[in-house]
Amino acid sequence: MKKLLPFILCAAILLAGCSNAASSESSSTTSESSSVASETVSSEETSEPASDSAESESTEEAQTANLESAVAALEEVNPIANPRALDDFSVENELMLTMDNLVAYKGDVTNDQADCGLVFVAQAKDGKAADVEAELQAYKDSLTANDMYAEFADKIAQAKEARIVSNGNYVAIVIASIGGDYAAIDTALETALNF
């Protein structure tokens, strides 16, 4: 039952995604307010600082330019249909990441029910990249743990091939959009996290 719950949650999120375009706008507004409140430099779309990390930011500064360039490079080869920017709530409750392990992150997930595309890059705190990678692997496993829903077969197949890559303090996960090309994603991942 524990393995089924994250899969159902993820499937529900993918299915409910495009029914509320207005929530995407309010998500961006909430994200921007959160950024201002934590006094961290962020992009308008979302290069969010991890919550409750103000005290550690003096030693670990968010590298938003690196995150933005990595996400842009990955989305160039894996365009996200009707993208929804990931915010703190999504990162913690959809991707199941521990926010205390992150300095900053940027990413988009599809808001299209017929697709499954995801591009996410995180800057982990020193010594936490392996933990973030393990949590992303658990997220990937939760998406692919149950093959009983035939209507999601193409999405499950894409999620099974998801790429999780780390380099230094940076960790990325990419799920190819339907019809996407993992060979192109692999090539982009070879350089996207080299800062």
pLDDT at 189: 96
Predicted TM-score (pTM) of this structure:
0.70
pLDDT at 41: 39
Span 87-111, pLDDT tens digits: 999 999 999 999 999 999 999 999 9
Query: What secondary structure letter does DSSP report for 95?
Result: S
Work out the widest C-alpha separation in the chain, in whole angstroms: 49
Asked if pLDDT for residue 24 goes beyond 70, the answer is no
Span 157-178, pLDDT tens digits: 889 999 999 999 999 999 999 8
- Name the band, by pLDDT with cuts 50, 70 and 90, for residue 113: confident
Q: How far is CA 40 from the centre of its chain?
A: 19
- Name the band, by pLDDT with cuts 50, 70 and 90, for residue 59: low
Mean pLDDT taken over the chain: 79
pLDDT at 36: 40
pLDDT at 31: 43
**What is the per-residue DSSP string for 130-169?**
HHHHHHHHHHHHHHHS----GGGHHHHHHHHT-EEEEETT
Identify the burial level of 185 via C-beta atoms within 10 angstroms of its C-beta, where 0-12 means exposed, 13-18 middle and 19 or more buried: buried
Identify the three-state secondary structure at position 33. helix
Span 114-165, pLDDT tens digits: 899 999 999 999 999 999 999 999 999 998 887 656 667 888 888 999 999 9
Rounded Cα gap, residues 117 and 148, in angstroms: 21
pLDDT at 7: 52
Rounded Cα gap, residues 91 and 88, in angstroms: 5
Identify the three-state secondary structure at position 124. strand
- Name the band, by pLDDT with cuts 50, 70 and 90, for residue 51: very low
Mean pLDDT over residues 48-74, rounded?
A: 73
Which is higher by pLDDT, 47 or 188? 188
